[in-house]
Structure 1
Amino acid sequence: MSETTTAVAETSAAAIGSKATLTGGATSAAGFFMGIDWMGWIGIGVAVLGLVINLYFSWQRNLREKEIHELKKRKYMGGCDVEQD
């Protein structure tokens, strides 16, 4: 998969995770205020799932940025032949 395709996929997944977290929180609050317990629990589940998706993609982005940082350091120190786009 190309670098651009990977970036687009990760960005869209992170956006979906954010929307899932917000939707889950709103559903949970609405369910508890209306007295529909199962709706509240489903909302909490969706919110937690959205949080997990966000954490995973943040972790992946951190690893990628750390690798890029290390390559740039090696390039500046003259340790590798990396071409920058």
Structure 2
Amino acid sequence: MSETTAVVAETSAAALGSKATVTGGAASFAGFFMGIDWMGWVGIGVAVLGLLINVYFSWQRNQREKEIHELTKRKLNGECNVKQD
């Protein structure tokens, strides 16, 4: 998979995770407010799943940014065999 495709897929998944967290939280609140217990529990489950998706993709983005930072430091210190444009 190309790097661009991976970034687009990760961005889409992160957006989906955010929407799932908000939707699950709203459904949970509505379910408990209306006295529909199962709807509240399903909403909590969706919210937690969305949160886990966000945490996973944030961790991946952090790892990628660390790697880019280390490569940039090496390049600036002249440790890489990279031609300057």
Output the TM-score relative to the length of structure 2.
Answer: 0.95
**Superposed CA RMSD:** 1.3
The 2-side partners of 1:79 and 1:34 are apart by 63
- 1:59-81, Cα deviation, whole Å (9 max, x unpaired): 00000000000000000001012
Q: In percent, how many aligned pairs have the same letter? A: 81
Aligned to 1:28: 28
The 1-side partners of 2:30 and 2:58 are apart by 29
Aligned to 1:74: 74
Q: Gaps (5+ residues) in structure 2?
A: none
The 2-side partners of 1:83 and 1:53 are apart by 39
Aligned pairs, number:
84
The 2-side partners of 1:83 and 1:5 are apart by 27
Matched residue SS, 1:78 = coil
Q: Gaps (5+ residues) in structure 1?
A: none
Aligned to 1:55: 55
Per the TM alignment, residue 83 of structure 1 is displaced from its structure 2 partner at its CA by 6.3
Say if 1:83 and 1:4 are closer, same or farther in 2 by CA, change over 3 A.
Answer: farther
The 1-side partners of 2:18 and 2:76 are apart by 37
Say if 1:75 and 1:50 are closer, same or farther in 2 by CA, change over 3 A.
Answer: same
The 1-side partners of 2:4 and 2:82 are apart by 19
Give the letter for the 1:32 counterpart.
F
